[in-house]
Amino acid sequence: MTNSLKSIDKYLSFVKFSHTVFALPFALIGYSIAIALEEYNFRVKILLLVILCMVFARSAAMAFNRYSDEKFDTMNPRTSGREIPSGKISRKSALIFVIVNSVLFIISAGFINKLTLILSPLALVIILGYSLTKRFTALCHFILGLGLALAPIGAYISVTGRFDILPLIYSLIVLTWVSGFDIIYSLQDVEFDRSLNLYSIPSVIGSKKGLIISGILHLLTILFVIAAGILNNQGVLFWIGAGIFSVLLAYQHIIVKPSDISKVNIAFAKTNGIASVVFAIFVVADLFLKL
């Protein structure tokens, strides 16, 4: 039993399971927007399938990232202790893990409705393809953002079987928000990326300009949040959540500077994790309480 728990813990660490907190709250927002409509009811089955899709897709994506980046992770002192370089998980086991989670994602999507099944392979291409993009483009941050941005619209489609403007706006929120904080995260590897001809916005144009672009993206995030609130005529709880979310976005740009990136992990993981959870709680509460 102890060995089994250790193995589970090893794989949870491998895929950084705690980082599911970034996109999952927005999937719950997309789901809640759908069931707030009069013609749709809360269904536990669909909610559980949405959560499973999120977990399987993200696990596949992160494992593939670790698999494809093994060479770079081994060479980088910051990442050399990760599971594959350190030998805790073999490349073969990692690849099997990717395949299994990818298949389970498609199966779960198939149990939801026809449209989610049709779109699931495209979603996999995007979320897995991100790991290869930094080899040839500094726009890699936006591919990551696009992958996570599938969460709210995907959850909405799971209930309704159709696209709509409001969940698409929430997808734009996720796209700009994630792209912005991934630029901040990439500040840690500017010199390493340059030495191996890997691409990121900071490695191409410098940390200072990279942070400016990140700030612009987060300003766009806030504007999209405002647009979502106005479009859906949201109430007081939504705007409280939007305010907290916006303050936490701004906080990242206060504590991380081109000359001091010591608090990048605080900005990346803790601040954004708290921001997404708090925002989702207030948005969902407002959808059903209408205060």
pTM, 2 dp: 0.94
pLDDT computed for residue 291 by the predictor: 56
Instruction: Say how many Å lie between the first and final Cα of the chain, rounded.
Output: 49
Burial of 122 (0-12, 13-18, 19+ CB in 10 A): exposed
- pLDDT digit string, tens, across residues 142-154: 999 999 999 999 9
pLDDT band at 2 (very low <50, low <70, confident <90, very high): low
Q: Give the residue among 72, 62, 47, 32 at the shortest CA–CA distance from 237.
A: 32
- 3-32 mean pLDDT: 77
Burial of 117 (0-12, 13-18, 19+ CB in 10 A): middle
Using a pLDDT cut of 90, give the percent of the chain over it. 85
- pLDDT digit string, tens, across residues 82-114: 889 999 999 999 999 999 999 999 999 999 999
pLDDT band at 4 (very low <50, low <70, confident <90, very high): low
Per the model's pLDDT, the better-predicted residue between 290 and 208 turns out to be 208
- pLDDT digit string, tens, across residues 256-267: 999 999 999 888
- pLDDT digit string, tens, across residues 245-254: 999 999 999 9
Query: In 3-state terms, what secondary structure has residue 164?
Result: coil
pLDDT band at 39 (very low <50, low <70, confident <90, very high): confident
- 25-34 mean pLDDT: 96
How far is 169 from 157, CA to CA, in rounded Å? 14
What Rg value do the Cα atoms of the chain yield, rounded? 19
- 223-230 mean pLDDT: 98
pLDDT computed for residue 17 by the predictor: 64
How far is 172 from 149, CA to CA, in rounded Å? 7
- pLDDT digit string, tens, across residues 55-88: 999 999 999 999 999 999 999 999 999 889 999 9
Q: Give the residue among 112, 96, 80 at the shortest CA–CA distance from 11.
A: 96
User: What are the structure tokens assigned to 144, written together?
Assistant: 């990551």
How far is 23 from 5, CA to CA, in rounded Å? 26
How far is 288 from 42, CA to CA, in rounded Å? 12
Question: In terms of CATH, what superfamily is 2-289?
Answer: UbiA prenyltransferase (1.10.357.140)
In the predicted structure, residue 13 carries a pLDDT above the cut 80: no
Q: Give the residue among 182, 177, 139 at the shortest CA–CA distance from 29.
A: 177
pLDDT band at 6 (very low <50, low <70, confident <90, very high): low
In the predicted structure, residue 1 carries a pLDDT above the cut 50: no
User: What are the structure tokens assigned to 166, written together?
Assistant: 């409001």
How far is 112 from 110, CA to CA, in rounded Å? 5
Longest dimension (CA), the chain: 56
